[in-house]
Structures are given as structure tokens and as C-alpha cells.
Structure 1
Amino acid sequence: MLKTTDVQTASLQSYISSPEKQKALYKRTLFVVSISQIFGGAGLAAGVTVGALIAQQMLGTDAYAGVPTALFTLGSAGSALFVGRLSQRYGRRTGLATGFILGGLGAIGVVIAAMLNSVILLFASLLIYGAGTATNLQARYAGTDLASKKQRATAVSVTMVMTTFGAVAGPNLVKVMGKCATSIGVPSLAGPFILAAVAYILAGIVLFIMLRPDPLDIAKRIAAYKQQNGHEVDSNSASQKNNKRGLAVGATVMVMTQIVMIAIMTMTPVHMKHHGHGLSEVGIVIGFHIGAMYLPSLVTGVLVDKIGRTAMSIASGITLLLAGLLAALAPSDSMVLLVIALSLLGLGWNFGLISGTAQIVDSTKPSTRAKVQGTLDVLIALAGASGGALSGMVMANKSYAVLSLSGGLLSMVLIPIVIWVYKK
């Protein structure tokens, strides 16, 4: 046993002195995480597409239709902290695999709740299902562990592009999965959660088997070696202050974009249903939305690395404003304008998430990175939960137009915050 451990340690240590092996592991990590993200994207799409509709059907009111989104985003908050700390202690492989499998178990619980018509079980299962959402987001960090500063946003973008395949397929399989569910005696709206269960569990298995050696472990060893040998510049008060600013602005950008995106996205299926649109049409709009959340990532990552985190954060605020205005002003029967509005909503979120994530990675060290990232993702999840919960109440008491317009105006807060932080 000792000999095996010695061999494993020597193998890990060999990455420290070999830039070629580091580069190869970086590419392999991106490949493995990308595969898991395809499954993860399909898993998260279920809750986005039909979560609100299941609650509306069970509760018989729109006022609480945002609760499912609030619950699985709230569940993702606790899971983000759990997965982050688990990753810090045992590595990305263990943390991410555990999170995805928990998400799959939550999806199974939602299916059972729909069969039993149990609201309590539905809400409890949605909390657990949120683990998949949190893990899907945290997986983006795994690709950055061995990336240089000029590669970090691009590394995030590669994994997010791969999420697109599953995330777009998920909503467009709503009708098919609904028929499959009905054929086995399960309510049609629970069909997408069957897909989510399988997808999340497969994502966890892929990471557990293939993510070796662990990129975060290697990054820690490289950082420790550089520090011991004087290759790493000692931290000073100025750099620590800059890191705190970086964490503050990165977190703010991601939190604000999450609130706006979740609030408008959550109520769009309910708004469409009220105006005579069918489930397949809802799937198309949400499919375009999720596609815009992830598909532009490769270009976004390059832009963030080339023109800077600040410029792309400002672009995020402007894009979200346009999305909110268009969603508010679009005629309720116009599929084309709804598709454009929700696509802009996804694009603005994409700009914010990638620029914010790159800023967070820039401002953390491998020794504490996963823990800090997990903690900040809690804020993002809580922001999403707030947006989801409040969106139903705003729409029930006002209108979808008021909700969309409010979200768009809120996104503009990003611009003065980002400028103010970097002027300090």
C-alpha cells in the first residue's frame, strides 16, 4: 500500500517540473469537464422549463409559480458551499461527482412527487435537485485550475459551450419526454425530470471515473513549489486590496445578472401559457434562451481575455437592459420577439457570468480557491432564489411587462458599480 502511495505521489509531483504535462492535463481536464457539462446542461434544463408549470398545476395559482425556481436555486446555494468545501478538501473530482449525483436523486424525487401529487415531496426534492445546478456552475472552475491568466475566461467558455448541447436539447425534448412519461403512468410535466435524473447521474459518473489526476490538487502542488522556490511574488497589502476588489466586483456582476435572468426567465413560460402558447412553443423559447446563455461562450471568453473583464461586465448590463425592455414591450402573441428577448437575456447573463468568473479566479489562490468559489456561488444561488420567488409575486400583482422592465433597469446598476470599484 505504501509503495502504491509513493508511486502516486511521484506521478503527481512529476507535473510540477513538466510544463508539457501541465498543458496536456489542462486540455484533458477541459475535455472531461466538457463531456460532463453536456449531461449537466440537459439536467438543469428540466427545472427551468417545467418547474414553474408543475407548481402552477399542483397549487392552482400563479402567485407561487416561482417557488420551484426559488427552491432549486436555494438548494443550489447550500450545495455550492458543500461542493466547494468538498472540492477544496478532496479535489474537484470528488466534489463535482457528489454534487451531480445528488442532483440526479433530487430529480427522481420530483418525478415521484408528481406521481403522488405531493407538494411537500416536490418542494423537498427541488431543494436536492438544486445540487445539480450548483455543480453544473462550479464545474466551470475546474477548467481554470491549470489555465494561465490569459486563458481563464476562454477555459470557462469552452466548458459552457459544451453545456449548450444538453441545455438546448433539454427544453426541446419536453414534449417527447412528456409522452414517454405518460406511457409509463407518470404525469407528462414530470417527463423532463426523468431526463434530468439520468443526465445528472451520468455527469457525476463521468467526472468520478475520468477526472484524474485532479486539476486542483496539481494546481496546489505547483503553487506550493513556486512559493518554496521563490518563483511566486509575495503578497503585499496592495495586491491583497486588489484581490478584495476583484472578488467584490466579480461577485456583484454574477449576483446581479443572476437575479435579473432568473426573474424574467422563470415567469416567461407562465406568461406564454396565459396567452395560449403550448408546451412545445415554451420549449422553443426557453431552448433559444438557454442556447444564448451558453453557445456564445467561446467568443465571450476570448473577448473577456482580450478586451478585459470590466468592459464585458458593462456589456452585460446593457444587454440585460435591452432584454428587459423588449420582453416588456413585445406583444404577447409574438413568438419571434419573445425568442429575441429571451436570447438577449441569456446573452447578457453569459457576459456577466464569464467576466465575473474570470475576475474571481484572478483574485484567488489554489490553496483557498475552491472554498472561496463555493462561498461566492452561494451568493449567486441566493440571488437566483430571490429572483425566482419574487418574480411570481410581481407578476401576480402587476404584470409580466412590469417584471421585465424592472429587471432590465436593475441590470443597469452594474455599470456604476464596476466603474466605481476600479476607480477606488
Structure 2
Amino acid sequence: MTSAASPPSPPSGIRTDTSPGVLAGPDRAAVQRRTLRVLIAAQIVAGLGMGSMLSSGGLLVERLTGSQSLAGLSTTLITLGAALLAVPLAALSRARGRRAGLGTGWLVAAAGAVVVLIAARLGAYPPVLLGMLLIGAATAANLQSRYAATDLAEPGARAGALSLVVWSTTVGSVLGPNLSGPGEAVARPLGLPGPAGTFVFSVVAFVLGWAVVHTLLRPDPLLSAGTGHAAHAAGPDGEGFAARMRAAMRHVGASPAALTGLTALVLGHGVMVAVMSMTPVHLAHHGASLSIIGFTISVHIAGMYALSPLVGKAADRLGRVPVILLGQAVLVTATLLAGTAGSRQWPVTAGLFLLGVGWSCVTVAGSTLLGESVGAAHRPEVEGLSDTAMNLVGAAGGAFSGTVLGDYGYGGLNAAAAVLVAPSGALALYFVLRRR
């Protein structure tokens, strides 16, 4: 077992956070409880901003361009923006703490929503895409909030803390899309297209998310844990940004635990996005109503977030790798159930629910394993790299899933997604055997 400031020692490399000056005992526990409350509040408030515009972004692009095929660009650009901004926000967290990194993410997203509103008022299409790219910062901040939950958590409670922040995303995901109607009412007096009204709510929600983090996330969990500090912003031995990123990648490559967590996290996300994004198309082609399609996606979202506290407890009690393996088994089961459903709707809905549960398992356990398997000197950069990889693979999965669906059908898409589970499963088993 190594100290928090030293590189991980193979094969486990799990951090202990015992470096001098780090909060300990009752003080640490009290700050951790406060940190979780603040992060959950920020996720709920700002998450409403994401949920409200995700359901209307594609409609707005279609309204401005008159092209249904371009409507999907909104989600793609938000995902791409999250991938591009994850590392800079992580670097900012390292230099100035979580308040700066997370808060800046919410502010950049608010600026992006303002750009969308101005462009929609002018009827200009290209600036809307720029705004969507900036809104990706909200996704990046959302993802990095889960790591902030583990900065001061005790080793046996890290997955549980992370899972609570993941769970809080449920509120925005469920309630946000229901703001489409009120958004249209707001849009009319402002001279905006109907779908643009929800972006007004997004601006308010993102600014409130920044305000919650900026004013209440004190003391800063990352700085209190002795991980990030302005005095060490240049990294070990005065390394620059590019050198730190290369060192972080080498650090992950040298740790079987970190590789296992990263691979499970990234590929699990790719599987989920690929299948989920094309399920509405498959159901519509088989005559499902919009209410059935909406219900299926709602059940999928419930599987992703609602059960995450139970997943976190399991990861703390049973171990990270067993829960990762469980999640991969659930993902394979989900693709088998949905892929063989044909025109039947209930197996697709059940498969999408299990797809969400499997994603929750690999995300909670994989993120926790990755975060605790790297030394403090590289942790923020590794977290940023993992989120970048996660979003890039998700974007690729969403982009190519339509082609696979068209060429090989929904069953072929699920079969291809199941194959993606194999590398992370093999790596997890290798990690178990190496430790033994």
C-alpha cells in the first residue's frame, strides 16, 4: 500500500491518502458529508438545465435548418464538447481546486446556452452548433463531480459516495424533459422558436449550479485531500501541461487496476450509447407509439441512475472488480435480450433497463477503481483523460450505430455491442488473477 503522493505499486496500487497536512478523523468526515450535500445539490440544479435542453436541442436544429438528418448534431456536439473540455477542467481543478474546475464548467455551459439563444433569435444555424459545443462543459462538470465525491471519502466508502452523486443526476434527467411545454410559453414573448425556450431554463440552472459550488463547496475537497494545490499547478518537478498528460497516460499504463477501471468505464459507456441511441428508431420501425418509446427510454434512465446507491454499496462491500464483472455480464444479457426481441416491445424495454443497470455497475465501480489506483500527483489528469475517452467513445458509438443498424439490423447492433464488452472483461479477469 502506498501513500497518496507516490505512484501506485503493482498489482493493486490503491491510494490511502495519508500524506502530511491532509484532513483526518472527525474533521475529514464532517467536510466529506458537507461536500456530498453540496455536490448533490449542484447536480440536481444544474442537471435540470441539461435535461431540459437535451429533449429540445435536436428539434431546434431541425427547425433552423429544415433538415431532420442534421438534428442529431446537437447531441453529438455536446458529447464532443464534453470530450474536449474534460482535460482542461481537470487541469484547472488540479491548479485551483474542485470549486474552480466544476464552477467553470457550469459557467462555460451557461455561456453556450446564451449563444444558442442569441443565434436562435437571429435564425442563425452555425452559432447554435458552437453553443452546443460549449454546453458540453456541463456534461464534463457533471462527470467530474463524481470524482470530487471521493476526494475525502474513506477507502471503504468511496464507491458509495461516488454513486450518490451519480444518483442525483436522476432528478434532472427525469424532470428536465418535462420543461419543454413551459419552454414554449417562455419562447413566444422573447421572439424565439418554440424549442429554444428551454435554453432559458438552462442558463438559469447552469448559473445556479455554479453559485452552489462557488459559495458552498468550502473547504475545497481536492485541496483538503492534499491532491491539488496552486503551488503544484505545474505538476511534479515543474512539469508543463503536455508533460503531465503524457505522465498520466504512462501512469495508467503501469497500473493493472487503473487500466481495468478505465477500460470498463470507457467501453461500457460505448456499449450503452450505441444501443440506446438506435432503440427509438428500431421501435418506431416496428410501429411503437411515441409514448411506448418515451417509456422505454425513461426505464433505461431509471436503470442508469436510480439504482446507483445500491451499486455503490455493492462495490464497497464486494470489491470494485467483482461489480465491474457483474456489470459486464448484465450488459451482455441486455444486448442478448434486446437483440433477439424482433418486433416484441417488452424484451426491448427490459433489455434497455438492464443496459442502464450494467452501465451503472461499470461506471460506479470503474470510476472508483480508476480514481483510487493512481497517485495523487496524476489523479486530476487521469480523471480528465478518462472522461475525454468516455465521451469520444460514446460519440463514436452513437455515430456508427446508425450505419450498423442499417446494414445488420437491431440484432446485429446488439451483437456488435456485446463484443465490445469482451476486452474489459478479459482485463478484469487478468487483474483478478494477477492479484492472486
TM-score (norm 1): 0.82
- Whole-Å separation in 1 of the counterparts to 2:192 and 2:80: 26
Task: Please list every run of 5 or more consecutive structure 2 residues that lacks an aligned counterpart in the other structure.
Answer: 1-19, 230-250
Q: 1:252 aligns with which of 259, 263, 268?
A: 263
Is 2:359 aligned against 1:349?
Answer: yes
CA shift digits 1:224-260 (9 cap, x unpaired):
xxxxxxxxxxxxxxxx899711221111011101111
Which one-letter code corresponds to 1:254 in the other structure? L
Aligned partners of 1:40 and 1:163 also within 8 Å? no
Matches within 5 A, 1:159-174: 159-174=165-180
Q: 2:147 aligns with which of 125, 135, 141?
A: 141
Aligned partners of 2:160 and 2:313 also within 8 Å? yes
Q: 2:137 aligns with which of 131, 136, 144?
A: 131
CA shift digits 1:11-69 (9 cap, x unpaired):
xxx98575111110010000100101112332333465444555566666666554333
Look up the match of 1:6: none
Which one-letter code corresponds to 1:373 in the other structure? E
Look up the match of 1:368: 378
Aligned partners of 2:95 and 2:228 also within 8 Å? no
Matches within 5 A, 1:59-70: 66-70=72-76
- Whole-Å separation in 2 of the counterparts to 1:382 and 1:301: 25
Aligned partners of 2:80 and 2:395 also within 8 Å? yes
Identity of aligned residues (%): 36
Which one-letter code corresponds to 1:320 in the other structure? L
Q: How has the CA–CA distance of structure 1 residues 277 and 417 changed in structure 2, closer, same or farther, with 3 Å as cutoff?
A: same
Q: 1:324 aligns with which of 335, 338, 342?
A: 335
Q: How has the CA–CA distance of structure 1 residues 54 and 154 changed in structure 2, closer, same or farther, with 3 Å as cutoff?
A: same
Shift in Å at residue 390 of structure 1? 1.6
Is 2:430 aligned against 1:420?
Answer: yes
Shift in Å at residue 280 of structure 1? 5.7
Cα root mean square deviation, aligned: 3.2
Aligned partners of 2:270 and 2:397 also within 8 Å? yes
Q: How has the CA–CA distance of structure 1 residues 196 and 260 changed in structure 2, closer, same or farther, with 3 Å as cutoff?
A: farther
- Whole-Å separation in 2 of the counterparts to 1:216 and 1:321: 36
Shift in Å at residue 370 of structure 1? 1.6
Aligned partners of 1:69 and 1:389 also within 8 Å? no
Aligned partners of 1:62 and 1:396 also within 8 Å? no
TM-score (norm 2): 0.80
- Whole-Å separation in 1 of the counterparts to 2:93 and 2:343: 45
Shift in Å at residue 341 of structure 1? 2.8
Is 2:234 aligned against 1:214?
Answer: no
Q: How has the CA–CA distance of structure 1 residues 264 and 47 changed in structure 2, closer, same or farther, with 3 Å as cutoff?
A: farther
- Whole-Å separation in 1 of the counterparts to 2:252 and 2:81: 32
Deviates more, 1:274-283 or 1:114-123: 274-283
Q: How has the CA–CA distance of structure 1 residues 257 and 241 changed in structure 2, closer, same or farther, with 3 Å as cutoff?
A: closer
Q: How has the CA–CA distance of structure 1 residues 222 and 42 changed in structure 2, closer, same or farther, with 3 Å as cutoff?
A: closer
Look up the match of 1:261: 272
- Whole-Å separation in 2 of the counterparts to 1:57 and 1:276: 25
Which one-letter code corresponds to 1:85 in the other structure? A
- Whole-Å separation in 2 of the counterparts to 1:352 and 1:93: 27
Which one-letter code corresponds to 1:351 in the other structure? C
Look up the match of 1:104: 110
Which one-letter code corresponds to 1:255 in the other structure? V
Deviates more, 1:21-30 or 1:34-43: 34-43
CA shift digits 1:183-234 (9 cap, x unpaired):
75433433444433332221111101100110111100799xxxxxxxxxxx
Aligned partners of 2:52 and 2:179 also within 8 Å? no
Q: How has the CA–CA distance of structure 1 residues 175 and 280 changed in structure 2, closer, same or farther, with 3 Å as cutoff?
A: farther
Is 2:297 aligned against 1:286?
Answer: yes
Q: How has the CA–CA distance of structure 1 residues 46 and 241 changed in structure 2, closer, same or farther, with 3 Å as cutoff?
A: closer
Which one-letter code corresponds to 1:73 in the other structure? T
Deviates more, 1:398-407 or 1:176-185: 176-185
Aligned partners of 1:317 and 1:413 also within 8 Å? no
Shift in Å at residue 391 of structure 1? 2.4
Is 2:400 aligned against 1:394?
Answer: no
Shift in Å at residue 277 of structure 1? 5.7
Look up the match of 2:315: 304
Question: How many pairs are equivalent?
Answer: 396
